[in-house]
A = this chain, B = another copy of it.
């Protein structure tokens, strides 16, 4: 098991990204079942004006680009901090086999990253969440979904 080597690489990326002023102190890598690092990332939110550029998202996008696939089957994601809900959602869509993390959400909260707040919001009923949310034009929206269901040349994911 090379888990230590890989998680330390993710932590190293966190430090490098922070010291380069790319963004917050977070790093992540994707490792395939041969032990090869197929994607790397560090947080780049503030340097690229992209609130989605968390380390895990950057690493997933990098790995998928490198292997020309939108799935990371049989891969492990090593991340220097427990994924926030956005990143955890991204991980579920990318479908790696395993997650290894170093710091947890409480450590993140201690330095001002409020992942825990988002973890609490997501399971709430829509009308109890902090961001006001309305549903509109469902019938028009569902028409497109029906077209998708009937579409013969679609690529499912």
Residues of A within 8 A of B (CB): 3-4, 7-8, 11, 14-15, 18, 21, 23-25, 45-46, 49-52, 57, 60-61, 64-65, 68-72, 80-82, 84-104, 107-108, 110-112, 117-119, 121-123, 126, 131-138, 140-142, 144-145, 147-149, 151, 153-157
Contacts and interface: CB of A to CB of B under 8 A. Distances in A.
A54 to B, nearest CB: 8
B25 A50 contact: no
Contacts of A68: 49
Contact of A70 (B46, B101, B135, B147): B46
Given A61-B50, A140-B102, A145 B111 contact: yes
A48 to B, nearest CB: 8
B89 A138 contact: no
